[in-house]
Amino acid sequence: MTSISKASIVFLISIFIQYVFANGFTIDLIHRDSSLSPYYDPSLSRSERLSKAFQRSVSRAASSPFGVQKASAPSGGFESPVRANSGEYLMKLSIGNPPVETLAIADTGSDISWVQCKPCTSCYNQTTPIFDPSDSKTYRNVACQSKPCTEYQSTICTDDNICQYTVTYGDRSSTVGDLATETFTFASPSGQPVSIQKVVFGCGHENEGTFHGSGAGLIGLGGGPLSLVSQLDTLINGKFSYCLVPIDSAETVTSKLKFGSDAVVSGPQAVSTPLTKKEPETFYYLTLESISVGANRLSYIKTDDSDSKASSVEQGNIIIDSGTTLTILPSEFYEELEATLKQSINGKPTDPKGSFSLCFEDPDSIKFPDITFHFTDADVLLKSKNTFIEVEAGLVCLAMVPSTSVAIFGNLSQMDYLVGYDLVAGKVSFEPTDCTKQ
């Protein structure tokens, strides 16, 4: 299996920015359940919207093989380990010239960006116009002889010399279409849009499965060579960050996604932990060494080292993911964490709700302990707003669940942290931040 080097992609697409802030650029992230989202359902209560987000989170983690291996998809395409309808944040962008405004899911757990395109062999309903490449002056199909087509595993060449991609997701949803280049223009909070030319993306003509509520497509922010982050590589110096507002924030407040020097996390309270390179390269892997409940520190699951006869923590043992709501932990370790929490909390657990294992009634009368995730070289302290979530009136549950397949540091645990990715230095940084003021 071969892959495209980041250097060759950057050379190929010759990215040009018409306007960039002196300190990089920033994009609004809209939670899919926010009143700003076209998928907002006013008939649902806050707890019902949360419940749906939790269900998506569990489904995303359960998708096989999330972060374990790359499987073969039908017709020789690539199988993405995540579910198609599982991302949580939308970003506004325009595609082509003249620009067509649309919304797409921003996802750190995916690589290739794609949108629905006319003519549609099979398309799902979306709230914005479906992109028609024949109307754009800047749309170009990627040649079969080009590096994205010859080296990227998910493409085939048609008889008409058109490079075609196929991606099948973990829930068997799929997108099939033409690999192309186009101008992407991103809306910015400053009011000045940022245009990027010759972005490689998928123009999807056959999109089937659980895509309803997923926007017009997906913007991949993962670590693979065709993700938007990798294509912007030298332009943003390998840096991007996001700041996710708490779920109880005003519904008109948006989270922020930053690129370039504006994404540097360097405040006095910032801590950094190394990224670990693993397969599949789509995901961002951190090393979790232990978790503390108050002053009680629990060592994370060890792995036997047959060479040294020692037991150590596996490197890259947890994925950090903005598209997963809950934090997912290995079942064995989760049981130890839950038992410790029960001993530390001055309240009686009640019957669990839905996907949760640990819930309490009358939360106002309970003092919940801080929980600290001890990553290599970085301690990330989580307050109760990150760890115990009100799932219905008078009932809170631990926003962490067990899994037998994968560990994920989810977005509830990251809220009110400025989370910065420096892919050149190979690290992720965390800084406590009031994200509503970013």
Residues taking part in catalysis: 107, 321
Task: Give the β-pairing of 194-208 and 114-116.
Answer: parallel
Among the listed residues 77, 53, 315, 87, the one whose alpha carbon sits nearest the alpha carbon of residue 179: 77
The length of the chain, given as a count of residues = 438
DSSP label of 62: H
DSSP assignment of 355-397, as one string?
T-S-EEE-GGG--PPPEEEEETTEEEEE-HHHHEEEEETTEEE
Q: Which residue has the tokens 């008078």?
A: 394
The region that residue 172 occupies, defined by phi over 0 for left and psi between -120 and 50 for alpha, beta otherwise, is left
Contact criterion met (CB below 8 Å) for 389 and 247: yes
Spatial separation of the C-alpha atoms in residues 231 and 182, rounded to whole Å = 13
Task: Give the β-pairing of 327-330 and 217-220.
Answer: unpaired
Instruction: Give me the half-sphere count of Cα atoms (radius 13 Å) on the Cβ side of residue 37.
Output: 24
Spatial separation of the C-alpha atoms in residues 409 and 377, rounded to whole Å = 16
Contacts of 66 (CB under 8 A, 6+ apart): 60, 81, 82, 170, 405, 406
Task: Give the β-pairing of 255-259 and 25-31.
Answer: antiparallel
> Strands, DSSP E only, in 210-367?
217-220, 239-243, 255-259, 271-274, 284-286, 288-293, 296-299, 302-305, 310-313, 318-320, 327-330, 349-350, 359-361
Contact criterion met (CB below 8 Å) for 98 and 85: no
Spatial separation of the C-alpha atoms in residues 198 and 11, rounded to whole Å = 11
